[in-house]
Structure 1
Amino acid sequence: MQLALFDLDNTLLAGDSDYQWGQFLIEIGVLDRAIQQTVNDQFYQDYKDGKLDIYAFLEFQLKVLSLHSREQLDTWHAQYMQKKILPMMTKKSKALVEKHRQNGDLLMIITATNSFVTKPIATAFGIDNLIGTTPEEIDGKFTGKATGIPSFQEGKVTRLHAWLAEQGKTLADFETTWFYSDSHNDLPLMKLVDKPIAVDPDPVLEDYAKTQGWPIISLRS
């Protein structure tokens, strides 16, 4: 069996799900545009620059989950899926996932974005396995904090090894391992797999992929 790993934001999606969740909440009046837009834009720039403080970002991004009931959040998320996410699921990204599915590969999305936002997106792609940053819940209500290791940069490697261990496997148990990503933040994991694929890469990843002879593809429609 082969293992196909996919980053989500700006890889399978033609955009960033976390950023668009914030934009959606601004548009429906849940978040204040002046405050949210400025801070969110700075975090997003830090991410692209490779200097994101993941814990500061999570404290900012997860706070809104603690202020509303799960029922309300789920209602908003369904609207967000229709308005923001489905238009970012390109024909090429869906075809790539289907190609690996037809090959009988084990499929997984591994993303730094929290699992509340990303689990329904993984389901929309027909992918059962997801590693995302885990928002803490107590008695069915989000606390606004994260729990465990964020699946960001080296954290993706740590979380993947832990998940595989739970299945009684290691990366070496797979005939071939793939990882598709757009971001230089994912280089720790890309360097571990047999077939790293740069997808619409940022400039840093593009340059590195060229020096290593890695394939560079586009999933934009």
Structure 2
Amino acid sequence: MPNLALFDLDHTLIPIDSDYEWGQFLVRIGAVDADEFSRRNAEFFAQYQAGTLDPVEYLEFALGTLAAFNPQQLAQWHQLFMREVIEPALLPAAYDLLKRHQADNDLIAIITATNRFVTTPIAAALGVPHLLAAEPEIDASGQLTGKLIGVPSSGAGKITHLQHWLEKQGKHLDQFEKTYFYSDSQNDIPLLSLVSHPIATNPNALLQAHADQHGWQTLHLFKSND
């Protein structure tokens, strides 16, 4: 059986936070009230960095914003978002890291706290076939409802999502000889602690301290984590 390689997305494979940048993009194009949305978006982002974010509260805010627009409009905006914001952030170092695991025929997945709407095109652009993300509810007409399906895919919730995904494929974590997880944040310590090869990637200060204490490998793909 191939090894398992898991990757966080924001500040790990890309040097930005795609969820935060999507919100800022909506502000720039005038889709949302600039002052109110920017204020709340900044508050949630600061909470995430500090490790105090309530993931359900944030996802209800983010998904509620998506639900205000029809799928066709969202798709058009997302194409522009990819071109203007995401594509410049897809850097050779991330592709090279993924290619090393692809060359070893590893089973590769991105597992991110950001919702599937925002992250599906990003995973595709990175060439990663499997994406585990916060799942927005979609009604029969294809409209986002603003509700979350299941548990958030953050913190210990990433373990829940990973277990469900592996079960669907008839696998479990212990079957793999080596399991890798690359992440930048202390929020991912639960899953980092579960794999055989935790790799603190572009780590923030809290994760760097934890990695140093536990002898985890550290990897810097980008010059800065800003």
Q: State the TM-score, normalizing by the size of structure 2.
A: 0.96
Aligned equivalent of 1:83? 84
Identical amino acids, percent of aligned pairs: 45
Aligned equivalent of 2:172? 170
Aligned equivalent of 2:56? 55
Would you say how many aligned residue pairs link Structure 1 and Structure 2?
221
Aligned equivalent of 2:126? 125
Aligned equivalent of 1:40? 41
Question: 1:133-192: per-residue Cα shift (whole Å, max 9, x none)?
Answer: 001101111001111111010000011011101111111111210000000000000000
Pairwise mapping of residues 1-221 of structure 1 onto structure 2 (< 5 A)? 1-139=2-140, 140-220=142-222
Q: Secondary structure at the match of 1:159?
A: helix
For 1:171 and 1:16, the matched residues in 2 are separated by 28
For 1:28 and 1:198, the matched residues in 2 are separated by 35
Structure 1 position 70, deviation (Å): 0.7
- Any stretches of 5+ residues in structure 2 without a counterpart? none
Structure 1 position 32, deviation (Å): 1.5
Partner amino acid for 2:92?
K
For 1:85 and 1:113, the matched residues in 2 are separated by 14
For 1:94 and 1:23, the matched residues in 2 are separated by 26
Structure 1 position 17, deviation (Å): 0.3
Q: Secondary structure at the match of 1:44?
A: helix
Q: Secondary structure at the match of 1:10?
A: coil
For 1:212 and 1:86, the matched residues in 2 are separated by 35
For 1:155 and 1:91, the matched residues in 2 are separated by 30
Q: State the TM-score, normalizing by the size of structure 1.
A: 0.98
Partner amino acid for 2:180?
W
Contact 1:90 1:219 in 2 (8 A): no
Structure 1 position 122, deviation (Å): 0.4
Contact 1:200 1:218 in 2 (8 A): yes
Question: 1:14-42: per-residue Cα shift (whole Å, max 9, x none)?
Answer: 10000010011111110121111111111
For 2:10 and 2:84, the matched residues in 1 are separated by 16
Structure 1 position 76, deviation (Å): 0.5
Structure 1: 4+ residue segments shifted above 6 A: none
Cα RMSD of the aligned pairs, angstroms, is 0.8
Question: 1:62-104: per-residue Cα shift (whole Å, max 9, x none)?
Answer: 1121111111101100110011111111110111011111111
- Any stretches of 5+ residues in structure 1 without a counterpart? none
Q: Secondary structure at the match of 2:182?
A: strand
Question: 1:108-133: per-residue Cα shift (whole Å, max 9, x none)?
Answer: 00000000100110000111100000
